[in-house]
Amino acid sequence: MGNTDSNAYQKRLARLPAADQAQIERSFDSVIGNPSKKCVGLTAFQDSIGDSLPTSISQRIFHGIQSVNITGKSSLSNPEVTREQFVVFVIDLLRGTAEEKSAVILPMIRADNSEQVTGQQIQQFLEDLIGAAVHLLHKQNVLHGWSLENTSDCNAGIHTLATQLMSQLLKSNGAQSQDAPELSSISRAAIEDWLYKVPMISTFLRVVITLGFSVLQQSVEQQRDVSSLVPRCRRGKTPPFTSLLDLPAIMYLNSHLPSEMQHKWRLLFSTQVHGESFSQLCGHLVDQGPSLLVLRDSGGFIFGGFASQNWEVKPQFQGDSRCFLFSVSPRLDVFTYTGYNDHYMYLNHSQQTMPNGLGMGGQHDYFGLWIDSNFGKGHSKAKPRCTTYNSPQLSATEEFSIDSMEVWGLGDLSEELQVKNKKSILDVDPEAQALLEMTGRTRQSEGLRDQDDDET
């Protein structure tokens, strides 16, 4: 376990500029509390870290550092770790290959010299890792407007995301279900392949190391990692509400969005805020660019879809192959374009000959996700899968009732849509505006054109 090349330390240092090298070494000095000391044990290591990192992950990190082999001799029996081991460990997790990462991750999963681990051990490692990332992002105030209070249960989300991240590893090892933590005999080669296929694991590791030990926090890579995990939350002037999504689900869904849409989510519509109305939904959705729709049905299932293009009311399908459907609860997963047809997005209203409502995937009357214009009803039909996205039935029952719904605009509005939103008929027709106000009805587009919304 670990690197057996006696020149490992110098080889790793060569990957970083001198300033970055010095920053990592200073981080170790702050951990041991005495620059004259050359090594530190587990108890002193955890005492120095304090509550910056949860105890469960700090112990795993110590075992990972401990496994780094600088001298060519086994270091796992040594109760202390050195500065050189710490530096190699950090560089391998931040800049290393899948092989180098697996060498230090395996002892983080199972603190011994075994080449194999069990599914249950990996599941617990992932939950500790994701929990540590959420803890650090919250503690260091970089959740960008999200909070543990305005999102759903984070603990349940951590478990669900950990289970999802294991799914590819379990499938490659012959498991029939992603819920198979009892699987044993997972080799280092399988771990390496998994790290290559599931880059989000490396992202969580980098966030925990850079924030937990205050190293390379201003690097381009670190900024990209945080922005890909946590978009800025913009709610405008809407009253407080609790999102249907938990933080791990937000991170997972955001990582599947096109990079230009990952930096900001703008609240467009919520039944908690705007009421249960299809016309209100359309008024807040149309001409707002790409969006993410999230629903909870009366059975408690949470699911939705990503619309990659601007919604328009018309009796034809729209969108492109970047669209996808997703499930959040009871299972977290994303279902992408199959190539079978181009029925990505559909939005129609007040037509007599065509279906009226919002749909994604499948075909008329058999959508992968459908919200009827008679708001409150919908369906998710898959016999056995949606033809457009290969998604299963997303809702608890094929025909469902909407318990709650929210829509998030993604990224920044294009200049074309900004101009279009400013050219409301009410702006050029004062009489129409006055008549609307006299009848006591509100202008649905008014708040949407306010670009000075505060981050919450």
Model pLDDT for residues 360-387, shown as the tens digit of each residue: 999 999 999 999 999 999 999 988 999 9
Q: To 5 degrees, how large is the angle CA 197–CA 200–CA 206?
A: 120
Q: Are 159 and 181 in contact (CB under 8 A)?
A: no
Mean predicted confidence (pLDDT) in 9-30: 87
pLDDT tens digits for 336-364?
Answer: 999 999 999 999 988 777 889 999 999 99
Residue 449, pLDDT above cutoff 70: no
User: In this predicted structure, which of 157-171, 314-328, 441-455 has the lowest mean pLDDT?
Assistant: 441-455
pLDDT at 454 over 60: no
Average predicted confidence (pLDDT) for the chain: 86
Euclidean distance between CA atoms 61 and 12, whole angstroms: 18
Model confidence at 112: pLDDT above 70:
no
Question: pLDDT, tens digit, for every residue of 231-271?
Answer: 999 988 888 889 999 999 999 999 999 999 999 999 999 99
> What token pair was written down for 271?
């039944």
Phi-psi region of 112 (alpha: psi -120 to 50; beta: other; left: phi over 0): beta
Q: Please check the confidence at residue 452 and state whether its pLDDT lies above 70.
A: no
Domains and CATH numbers, the chain: 8-227 (1.10.238.10), 256-412 (no CATH), 424-456 (no CATH)
pLDDT at position 216: 81
φ, ψ for residue 140, nearest 5 deg: -95, 10
* pLDDT at res. 113: 65
305-322 pLDDT per residue, tens: 999 999 999 999 999 999
Is residue 176 predicted with pLDDT exceeding 60?
Answer: no
Please write the tens of the pLDDT for every residue from 38-94. 889 999 999 988 888 999 999 999 999 999 988 766 556 678 999 999 999 999 999
What is the C-alpha radius of gyration for the chain, rounded to an integer number of angstroms?
Answer: 25
What confidence tier does 417 reach under pLDDT thresholds 50, 70, 90? confident
- The model's confidence at residue 279, banded by pLDDT at 50, 70 and 90, is very high
180 pLDDT above the threshold of 60: no
What percent of the chain has pLDDT above 70? Answer: 86
- How far is residue 212's CA from residue 376's CA, in Å, rounded to a whole number? 45
- The tokens describing 86, both together, are 């710490």
Instruction: Give the residue among 401, 393, 397, 398 at the shortest CA–CA distance from 375.
Output: 401
Q: How far is residue 379's CA from residue 372's CA, in Å, rounded to a whole number?
A: 8
Token pair 């005492």 in the structure block, residue: 47
The answer to whether 356 and 348 are in contact (CB under 8 A) is yes
Contacts of 83 (CB under 8 A, 6+ apart): 25, 28, 29, 38, 39
The mean pLDDT value for 130-158 works out to 93
Burial (CB < 10 A; 0-12, 13-18, 19+), residue 187, is middle
The pLDDT value recorded for residue 158 is 97
**Does residue 171 have a pLDDT over 90?**
no
Q: Which of 20-24, 57-61, 97-101, 188-192 has the highest mean pLDDT?
A: 57-61
Which pLDDT does position 435 carry in this prediction?
Answer: 45
Region 268-276: mean pLDDT is 93
